[in-house]
Structure formats: C-alpha cells, structure tokens
C-alpha cells in the first residue's frame, strides 16, 4: 500500500496523504512517526492508515521515519479519532495528547554559510528592494555561521536575541551567501543515560591481564636486571644503558630502599651494582613497582562489585584515577556500556509495602461483581457509589491486584495528585516498584520515561490525573476513576484542544482494550447516576462507613493521652455512623448580636475539640465569592485590570491579587473613584479565618491550605504532613481540603459559609455545592473518636444544604433531577457551548452573533427542531486574562449535529457537554 494517511499537529480537523517511497516500503505502519513536508516547512506526522489509492492526484513523499517502530498502537489511533469526532477538535491535537510533551521536534529552518564575501562590502537587498551596504549584523551573522557551522533559526534567535534577525537572514540568503532549508528540530526530551564499567574477564584471566597491563617502572626494570644477574655483579653504566635510563634516579631509588649498593672500582673500570636484599624483598619491591598487587586488587574489585560501577563509583571505591580506568577500557579489560536511567517521580517516597485487609461484607458483594470481568476480556462498566470512607479505594486496590495477576496493566485516575497524596501512597505501598505517577506538572523527562516504559509494557499501574489516561499501555485490564464527579476530569476549554471528559474517554479506551471501568464516588455526577439507572453502568453500593485505623487510633490515643470515650461502645464494630451535621442559621446569629464569622455553635464545638486535644478542619467555599475590596463611601469595587474580576486582599503583603490570572497590585491608599481613604476589604479568606480563630483561642495552632499557601505539590505534602504529625490543631482551607483526606484525629469539620456558590448562574451550581459539602463532611469522624460537622449558612432551608446535612444523596438527586428535567438541562438534554474570547467586547460579540446567525440557518436547513440556541450573551466571567468573553449554548439531543456543519470561526472554543457555564 503505497499511500499513508497522515495527521499533523496543526489546527485542522482533516488528514493528509503522502506517498511511501520504495526505500522504506513495508516499514511504514499505522502509528509510525515520520518527517514530512507541509507547505514549505518540515513537520512530524503520524501515520493513521495505509491506502492503495490517494484521494488527490499529486502527493509528496514521506521523507524519513523518525522511529523504527510505531509510537502509538491501533487502539490509541482509534481513540484519537473518536476524541476528534466527539469533541470536534483537530485530529493532530488529539494524537499529540498521547505523546509526551517535547517528544516530537518542531519545524525549523537551518542556515548554512556558503561564501566568504565578508571582506568585500557587497550590496545586499531583497528582490525588488533598493540595494544597501551590509549591516554590522549581516557581518556578525556570516562570521558566526562560518565559525560555528550550520545553525537552526531557533538557535540563532537565542544567540542574537532581540536583533532584527529575520530580514538579515533573508537578505543574506537572497544574495547567495547563506543557504536555508526546512528541517525538524530534534525533540526536546530524550532518555537519560549513564555509562557503567562492565568487566570483560573472569578471575582466572587476571594474571594474564596483569602481565599484559603492567607498566614496569625504570627502577623495577633495573632491579629485575640486577636480580637476574645476581651471580656476577653488573656494571653501572651498562645497566643504565640496558634499561634506557636517562639519569641515575632509578638507581638512587634502589639504593635508598637498601636493595642494592654500589661498589667503586679501580680507575677506568665501571662501578659495580651489587644486590643486597634477600629474594623475598626483591619480589615484593618488584610487585609493588610493577603495580601488580594493585592491579590485581582493582581487577578483583570490578568482578566483586554487586553491579557494574560507574566511573565515579569506581574512582571512589578503588582509588584508581580516571586515566587508569580509561587505560583498562582501552586495553579491553572493561567495557563502558550506557544504561537508560528512569527518572522516577515516586523516588522521594519511602514506601512500606502494606498488606490487603480482608473485605467487609459490602465490599465483598461489590468485589464479587467486578472480579469475573477482570478475569475475562469483555469490557464492563461499574459505578461504585459508596459514602466517604466506605472502602472504595480498597476495591480499586483489589481490582488492580487482580489485573496485575492477569498480566495486564491498570490505570487509576485521581482528581489532583497534590490533593490526594494519601491515595497515591496507598497504591504505591500496595504495589511497590510497579507504580508510575503521571500528571501535568511532572518534569518533561519523567513524563517521557514513564511513557517509554509504559510503551514497553514495563509499567503495571499508572496513577495520575486526566492526561495520564493517554499513556499508551499495550494491554489495559482496568481503568478506575476515583471521585468521578470531580470537575478536574474535564479538560478546560482551550484553543484547538480536545475539550474531553476523562470519564467518556476512559470508557472508550476500556472498550478498545476489553477492560473494566470503575467509576467511584460518594456523590456521583448526576449524569453518571442517570446513566447507571438506565443500565449503562452496573451500580454497586457501599452504604456504610468502615471503621478504619482501629489499631493506629488506639496507639495514638495511648501515646497522646487522648480521651478514649468512643472506644468502649464500638470497640468491635466494623461500621461507623456518618457524622451528625448541625445546620446553623447565620441570620439568627446576626439577630442575636453575634457578628463574628463563627457562630456560637461552632465556637463551642471548636472549644471542646481543642480542649480534648483533637483536630478540626474549617472549610471556606471561595467559589464565586471573594474577599473583595470596596469603597465604604461610593461602593466602588476594585477589579483586576485584565479580568474584570474582583481582586482579593492579602494581608501578608498588603497586596490585591486576581484569582483568575494571578496579577498582583498594591493596596491603594484611596478609592480610585472618589479618593475616599475608606477602602476596605470585605468577606473572608483563609487568612481572616485564621486571625479570627486566633482572637478566640490565642493558643491555637492553625495551618492554612489554599492556592496562596501551597503553590507546588511539595508544599501541599508539607502542609498535610504537618497536620498529620499534629503540628497544628486546626486546618483552614478552601475546597482543596475536601478531597480524599483520611485523618482519624479530625473530629470536627466547620463549614464557615455553606451556601456561597449556590447563586451562581450555572445549572450545576447546586450539584457542586452538594458535592463539596458532602465531601468535606466526610472528613470528620473517620476514627474511633467519632466526630461532627457544623454547617453555617444564610439559607438553612435550601434543599442542597438540607440534603447534604442528612448525607442524603437520594434526596438531593430527586430534587435536582426534577429541576433539571423541568428546565431541559443535562442529563435530560445535552449542551454545547461556544466561547468567543477577543481583545475587544465588540469583537467577541460580533463573533458570537455571527456564529449564532449561521447556526440558526443550519438548524433550519436540517430541520433540527429539537435543538435550541441560547444566547449569545456575555459570560459570567465577562473578561478573563485581558480577553472579553461571549458565549452561546446549543441545547438538544445532540448539539454536535449542527456544530459539525458550522465552519470554524477564528478564536472560538468548542465545549461539548460543558461542566462549567461561567
Ligand atoms: P473510601 O475510598 O470509600 O473513602 P477507603 O478505602 O479509604 O474508603 O477506606 C476508609 C478507611 O477504611 C481506610 O482507612 C481504609 O484503610 C479502611 N478500610 C477499607 N477497607 C477495609 C477493610 N476491609 N478492613 C479494614 N479496614 C478497611
Ligand atoms: Zn470611593
Ligand atoms: Zn486577572
């Protein structure tokens, strides 16, 4: 089949046809990476399929295979096609999701020096432009390329930063002084290697090797000569001549060592050298000077070493110089061999393998349903609905173990690595040495290595975030999504990116591998729940919370002298109750004269917990709300100059910060609108909560966990470690603290403001708040000490607050479903969202209106009467990162039908089944 259908990493949905030159006919397979010409540039291209015929009359050739083997298997090529189709995204962007960042080189231009006309000032010009004498830059460029050899444009740009490089290069190329050629830059990541010294001999061969390797010194040669001629003493002049000595230094060494003496003779005769030492001493001296003993030891060391040593290890272990080791390599005694180093993202964890507990009856029932699937090759889908702490993770671990036993690989997705360190740890501890971590903030090298190992089938378990799903594994037996409702599973809308949802992509991948899919959550996404009810997922339930940590808690309670008041009653119970939730009406607090951000109930509970030496968590829901700054006199609200979002006040550095773009500005002394000095911040951030807490309990030790206090994964781990090690009594945080933490000493969770976010103009606002409240309540009372939750709210009667306080998912689903059905929102209808982000509000509006006009035509022409268009309108976040945003929504049974017909507009972003309408 002489034609290849190729996808390029360009923002186009179509593929391209190239012909396969005879030179590598038969080597090109689907999934191969090749260099091709696209326009005038070189591009890496992925072969999607081979064809007998070309849809176009003239084709360009594949120029070169960049990897002898396919880089993607058919399952992943197929998945990319599905992604492109279902997200209406360019096929290239979908395929490149499956390659590690930096894996393919970028297209570039190579410049080569041709003629040395530097001396003669020649007139240069571009075609049609007046001639000019060469500039200083022209000369420097020519000199540089002559001396350094050919360079790529990207390299020249670094060497000649900020200089008008492009016109100069064009002039010089036009004048025939440089040549220019389209090339592909080399990939920016590659395997890391290290050379080790491998011995090439056996112990028996060491004497021969020594004889071959030893370099006798002059004094050794002289001594050898003298010892040989022991019977008749040798003349001094003759001896020195025989060994080719240029001075008397070797002889002096022998005399100093007391091995020989010189006997003076008559005039005219040579002095004689007489041997003085006994034979053993001579032997010893000879061996030392020839380096025999030393060499023997060195050669033995290499054989005795547990594994081949690196140069550095060898110089340290044997004391040999690098020159000496190189000599051994040159002589063929040692061989330097490169080995590939795996950059392992889990290297800093100290994992202790932990054994699996025996399952509870509920877990066993779920496990019995899943296990047969893992032992076969049919794909099956499960929704594991279990309350917080019901043992879902233990089910994933079982399933992973069974998958590995079947010789297949497993993927466990988590919402965010930094926020779920305990889950990562549990997996790594259960399967030491078999787990690789894959997530977006992994260094490129580690990402590359994990990808290479995965491709070779060397990885058993991948734990990671959204994109980890696309690490190509040869044979997947299980994909599990923990906290499947989490919003981070949806790719944020971006230009030309597939805005996919991991849940759907995982299902497609599982189907292509004949793998099991397990979705786990205490608060399943309403859509997932809906599909489970329709039979799309088999529903498995874990309705009871497991009493974990019994031993640990008992030990800890002992050590810390904690009251063990809950212990006696429930000592042997396997299940524990979910914590009771108290709803506090903050309006009533205000009426009673309490203006503090802590209600009397929360103050009381905090006091008790602190008095008992236990721990508490305080959650502040910051979504859609901020500690914004406004003028007490005119009401002016300070906003980010790039995003139009209210700025947040940070007392530490007295700066205002934008939570969308991160911009930071100093706190103004006066109102920008009316010059009043009474500009104040309003509302509360974690810092204000910490201060208020300190006012109440001066001795309290608190820790803050939010995006400001934890910017890197390391700081996340550090904060968590401090809390676990009881270096703090109260952890104050935003939604971050709600996810997956399992802390047995936390006996109180306080939600400072439960309803913030309920009023946002997004049909999912209620679902989000319900999930958050349920998750955070789930952090309390996970051990023997029990626990409770205090929910502070201004809307105590709201069904979301009510259902969350009862841990009643069913009640929430019933109300929420009725509301969605009535208004025609998902899961009853599907949505598609088009966002237009432009540098002026008029442009964004114009684009959105143009799209709406065309869509109305399409809807009419195709008689898609079930699909309606909502908007266009400005987004809730009307300006983000300097861009003005408008959006429109399509609602119907499958809004993609209309969108497929719509010719892409510049700057738009398509989001099918959006999870965020703000
Ligand atoms: P979830 O993932 O549903 O929040 P976990 O799997 O984290 O629940 O389980 C909660 C706690 O119960 C953990 O400390 C876990 O170690 C413990 N646990 C889970 N299953 C068992 C079991 N079968 N026997 C004893 N302890 C268990
Ligand atoms: Zn003002
Ligand atoms: Zn901003």
Of 427, 548, 550, 809, the residue with max ligand 1 atoms within 8 A of its CB, to mutate for a pocket test, comes to 548
Q: What is the pLDDT of residues 117-175, one digit of tens each?
A: 555 545 555 555 556 777 788 888 888 888 888 888 888 888 888 888 888 888 888 87
Tell me, what's the pLDDT at 222? 85
Which of 396, 554, 742, 778 should be mutated for ligand 1, with most atoms under 8 A from CB?
742
Sort 578 into a burial class: Cβ within 10 Å, 0-12 / 13-18 / 19+.
buried
**Ligand 1 mutation target, pool 366, 386, 393, 550, most atoms within 8 A of CB:** 393
* The pLDDT value given to residue 582: 92
Structure confidence at residue 653 (pLDDT): 66
- Write the pLDDT tens digit of every residue in 346-398: 655 555 667 788 888 999 999 999 999 999 989 999 999 998 888 999 999 99
With a 6 Å cutoff on the Cβ, whether 393 touches ligand 1 is: yes
Instruction: Pick the closest to residue 397 from 463, 443, 331, 349 (CA basis).
Output: 463
Pocket test for ligand 1, best of 362, 386, 389 (most atoms within 8 A of CB): 389
DSSP 8-state assignment for residue 273: E
Q: Cis peptide leading into 872, omega within 30 of 0?
A: yes
Percentage, residues of the chain above pLDDT 90 = 24
Listed in order, strand segments (DSSP E) in 862-903 are: 868-880, 883-892
Please, what is the Cα angle at 791 between 786 and 792, to 5 degrees? 145
Separation in Å, CA 571 to CA 174, 360, 565: 87, 16, 11
Place of tokens 């090529």: 77
Q: Which ligand is nearest to the CA of 678?
A: 2
Task: Give the DSSP per-residue string, 419-469.
Answer: G-HHHHHHHHHHSTTSEEEE-TTS-HHHHHHHHHHHHTT--SEEEESGGGG
Q: For ligand 1, is residue 615 a contact (CB within 6 Å)?
A: no
d(CA 143, CA 350): 54
**Is the pLDDT score of 678 beyond 70?**
yes
Between helix 765-777 and helix 809-823 the angle, nearest 10°, is 170
CA-wise closest residue to 46 among 24, 11, 20, 72? 72
Q: Quote the ligand 3 centre to 483 CA distance (angstroms).
A: 30
- Edge-first strand listing for the sheet containing 234-235: 234-235, 272-275, 260-263
Residue 567 has pLDDT above 60, yes or no: no
* Cβ(796) – ligand 1 distance below 6 Å: no
In this prediction, residues 458-485 reach a mean pLDDT of 93
Q: Identify whether the C-beta of residue 758 lies closer than 8 Å to the C-beta of residue 798.
A: yes
Contact 13, 84 (CB under 8 A): yes
Contact 840, 848 (CB under 8 A): no
**Is the pLDDT assigned to residue 487 strictly greater than 50?**
yes
Higher pLDDT, 307 or 230: 307
pLDDT at 568 (0 to 100): 39
Mean pLDDT value across residues 669-677 = 83
Rounded to the nearest 10 degrees, the angle between the axes of helix 206-213 and helix 292-304 is: 130
Ligand 1 atom with minimal separation from the 422 CA: 7
Instruction: Please check the confidence at residue 94 and state whether its pLDDT lies above 90.
Output: yes
Mean pLDDT of the chain: 83
Cα of 645 vs centre of ligand 3, distance in Å, is 7
Could you report the per-residue pLDDT of 874-909, keeping only the tens digit for each?
Answer: 887 777 777 888 888 888 888 888 888 887 777 778
Alpha-carbon distance of 747 to 606, in angstroms, equals 10
Rounded to 5°, the CA angle 25-27-30 comes to 110
Predicted local confidence at residue 569, as pLDDT: 41
User: Pick the residue with more confidence: 744 or 503?
Assistant: 503
pLDDT digits (tens, 9 = 90+) for 245-262: 888 888 888 888 888 888
Pair 107, 42: CB distance under 8 Å: yes
- Cα separation, 490 vs 831, whole angstroms: 14
The predicted structure's pLDDT at residue 624:
38
Q: Specify burial of residue 77 (Cβ count, 10 A radius: 0-12, 13-18, 19+).
A: buried
Cβ atoms within 10 Å, residue 887: 26
Looking at ligand 1, which residue's alpha carbon is closest to its atom 16? 548
In a 10 Å sphere around its CB, with 0-12 CB exposed, 13-18 middle and 19+ buried, how is residue 784 labelled? Answer: buried
* Arithmetic mean of pLDDT, 646-654: 67
Residue 125, C-beta contacts closer than 8 angstroms, at least 6 positions apart: 131, 132, 171, 174, 175
pLDDT over 90 at 186, yes or no: no
Residue (of 823, 841, 840) closest to 889 by Cα position: 823
Q: What's residue 231's pLDDT?
A: 62
Find out whether the beta carbon of 360 lies less than 6 Å from any atom of ligand 1: yes
CA of 375 to the centre of ligand 2 (A): 69
Q: Whose CA is nearest to atom 13 of ligand 1?
A: 548
**pLDDT tens per residue, range 20-61:** 998 888 899 999 999 998 888 888 999 999 999 888 888 899
What is the torsional sign of CA 488, 489, 492, 494?
Answer: positive
> Measured from the CB, is residue 753 less than 6 Å from ligand 1?
no
357 lines ligand 1 (CB under 6 A): yes
**Residue from 358, 546, 552 to probe ligand 1 pocket by mutation (most atoms less than 8 Å from CB):** 546
The arithmetic mean of pLDDT across residues 334-352, rounded, is 67
Average pLDDT over residues 656-683: 74
Atom from ligand 1 closest to the CA of residue 363: 23
- What average pLDDT does range 758-769 have in this prediction? 79
pLDDT higher at 15 or 566: 15
Which protein residues have their CB within 5 A of the ion that is ligand 2? Answer: 631, 633-634, 636, 671, 673-674, 676
- pLDDT confidence of residue 625: 42
Closest Cα to atom 9 of ligand 1: 391
Ligand 1, atom 11, lies closest to the CA of 548
Distance in angstroms (rounded) separating the CA atoms of residues 606 and 730: 9
Lowest mean pLDDT among 63-72, 322-331, 520-529: 322-331
Is 389's C-beta closer than 6 angstroms to any atom of ligand 1? yes
Query: What are 503-548's pLDDT values in tens digits?
Result: 999 999 999 999 999 999 999 999 999 999 999 999 999 998 887 6
- Of residues 407 and 327, the one with the higher pLDDT is 407
pLDDT at 1 over 70: no
Å from CA of 426 to ligand 1 middle: 11
The C-alpha angle 579, 488, 353, rounded to 5 degrees, equals 65
Instruction: Supply φ then ψ for residue 113, to 5 degrees.
Output: -75, 135
Please report how the helices 322-330 and 311-318 are oriented relative to each other, as an axis angle in degrees rounded to 10: 120
Alpha-carbon gap, residue 547 to 570, rounded angstroms: 9
Partner residues linked to 282 by β-bridges: none
Predicted confidence band of residue 188 (pLDDT cuts 50, 70, 90): confident
Q: Summarize the confidence of residues 843-849 as an average pLDDT.
A: 88
How far is ligand 2, taken at its centre, from the CA of residue 676, in Å?
A: 5
Task: Answer yes or no: is the C-beta of 781 below 6 A from any ligand 1 atom.
Answer: no
Does ligand 1 lie within 6 Å of residue 793's CB atom? Answer: no
């Amino acid at each position: 089949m002489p034609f290849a259908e190729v996808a390029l990493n360009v923002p186009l949905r179509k593929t391209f046809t190239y012909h396969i030159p005879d030179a590598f006919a038969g080597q090109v397979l689907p999934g191969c990476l090749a260099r091709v010409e696209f326009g005038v540039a070189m591009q890496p291209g992925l072969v999607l399929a081979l064809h007998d015929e070309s849809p176009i009359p003239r084709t360009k050739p594949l120029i070169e295979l960049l990897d002898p083997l396919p880089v993607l298997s058919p399952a992943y090529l197929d998945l990319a096609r599905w992604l492109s189709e279902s997200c209406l995204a360019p096929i290239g962007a979908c395929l490149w999701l499956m390659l590690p960042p930096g894996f393919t080189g970028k297209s570039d231009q190579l410049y080569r020096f041709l003629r040395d006309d530097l001396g003669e000032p020649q007139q240069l010009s571009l075609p049609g432009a007046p001639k000019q004498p060469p500039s200083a830059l022209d000369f420097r460029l020519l000199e540089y390329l002559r001396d350094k050899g050919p360079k790529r444009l990207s390299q020249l740009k670094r060497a000649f930063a900020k200089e008008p490089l492009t016109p100069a290069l064009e002039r010089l190329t036009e004048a025939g002084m440089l040549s220019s050629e389209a090339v592909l830059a080399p990939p920016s990541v590659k395997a890391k290697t290290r050379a080790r010294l491998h011995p090439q001999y056996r112990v028996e061969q060491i004497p021969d090797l020594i004889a071959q390797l030893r370099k006798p010194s002059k004094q050794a040669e002289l001594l050898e000569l003298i010892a040989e001629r022991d019977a008749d003493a040798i003349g001094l002049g003759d001896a020195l001549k025989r060994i080719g000595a240029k001075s008397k230094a070797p002889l002096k060494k022998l005399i100093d060592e007391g091995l020989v003496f010189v006997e003076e003779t008559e005039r005219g005769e040579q002095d004689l050298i007489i041997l003085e030492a006994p034979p053993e001493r001579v032997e010893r001296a000879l061996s030392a000077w020839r380096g025999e003993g030393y060499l023997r030891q060195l050669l033995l060391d290499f054989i005795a070493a547990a594994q081949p040593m690196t140069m550095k290890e060898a110089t340290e272990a044997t004391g040999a110089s690098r020159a000496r080791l190189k000599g051994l390599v040159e002589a063929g005694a040692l061989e330097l061999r490169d080995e590939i180093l795996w950059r392992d993202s889990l290297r800093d964890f100290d994992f202790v393998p932990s054994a699996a507990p025996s399952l509870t009856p509920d877990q066993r029932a779920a496990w019995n349903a899943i296990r047969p699937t893992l032992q076969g090759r049919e794909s099956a889908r499960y929704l594991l609905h279990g309350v917080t702490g019901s043992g879902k993770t233990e089910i994933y671990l079982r399933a992973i173990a069974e998958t590995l036993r079947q010789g297949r690989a497993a993927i466990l997705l988590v919402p965010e690595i930094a926020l779920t360190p305990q889950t990562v740890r549990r997996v790594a501890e259960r399967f030491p040495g078999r787990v690789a971590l894959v997530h977006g903030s992994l260094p490129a090298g580690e990402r590359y290595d994990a990808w290479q190992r995965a491709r070779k089938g060397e990885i058993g378990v991948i734990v990671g975030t959204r994109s980890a799903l696309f690490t190509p594994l040869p044979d997947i037996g299980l994909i599990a999504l923990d906290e499947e409702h989490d919003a981070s599973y949806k790719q944020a809308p971006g230009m030309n990116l597939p805005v996919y949802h991991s849940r759907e992509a995982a299902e497609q991948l599982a189907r292509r591998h004949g793998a099991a899919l397990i979705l786990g959550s205490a608060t399943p996404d309403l859509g997932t729940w809906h599909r489970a009810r329709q039979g799309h997922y088999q529903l498995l339930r874990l309705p009871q919370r497991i009493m974990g940590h019994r031993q640990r808690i008992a030990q800890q309670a002992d050590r810390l002298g904690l009251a063990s008041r809950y212990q006696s009653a429930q000592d042997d119970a396997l299940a524990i109750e979910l914590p009771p939730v108290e709803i506090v009406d903050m309006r009533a607090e205000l009426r009673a004269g309490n203006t503090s951000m802590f209600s009397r109930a929360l103050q009381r509970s905090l006091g008790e917990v602190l008095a008992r030496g236990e721990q508490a968590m305080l959650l502040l829901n910051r979504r859609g709300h901020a500690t914004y700054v406004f003028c007490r006199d005119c009401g002016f609200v300070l906003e980010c100059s790039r995003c139009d979002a209210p700025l947040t006040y940070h007392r530490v550095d007295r700066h205002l910060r934008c939570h969308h773009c991160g911009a930071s500005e100093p706190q103004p002394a006066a109102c920008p609108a009316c010059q009043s000095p009474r500009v104040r911040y309003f509302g509360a951030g974690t810092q204000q909560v910490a201060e208020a807490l300190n006012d109440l309990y001066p001795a309290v030790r608190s820790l803050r966990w939010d995006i400001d206090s934890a910017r890197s994964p390391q700081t996340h781990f550090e904060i968590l470690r401090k809390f676990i090690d009881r270096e703090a009594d109260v952890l104050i945080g935003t939604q971050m603290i709600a996810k997956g933490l399992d802390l047995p000493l936390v006996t109180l969770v306080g939600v400072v403001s439960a309803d913030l976010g309920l009023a946002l103009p997004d049909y999912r606002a209620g679902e989000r708040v319900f999930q958050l409240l349920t998750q955070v309540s789930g952090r309390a009372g996970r051990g023997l000490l029990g626990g409770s939750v205090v929910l502070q709210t201004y809307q105590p009667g709201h069904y979301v607050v009510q259902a969350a306080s009862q841990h009643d998912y069913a009640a929430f689903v019933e109300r929420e479903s009725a509301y969605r059905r009535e208004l025609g929102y998902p899961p009853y209808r599907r949505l598609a969202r088009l966002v237009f982000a432009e540098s002026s509000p008029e442009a964004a509006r114009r684009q959105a209106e143009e799209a709406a006009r065309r869509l109305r035509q399409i809807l009419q022409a195709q008689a898609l009467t079930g699909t309606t268009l909502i908007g266009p309108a400005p987004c809730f976040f009307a300006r983000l990162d300097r861009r003005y945003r408008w959006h429109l929504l399509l609602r119907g049974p499958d809004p993609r039908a209309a969108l497929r017909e719509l010719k892409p507009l510049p700057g738009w972003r398509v989001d099918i089944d959006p999870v965020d309408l703000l």
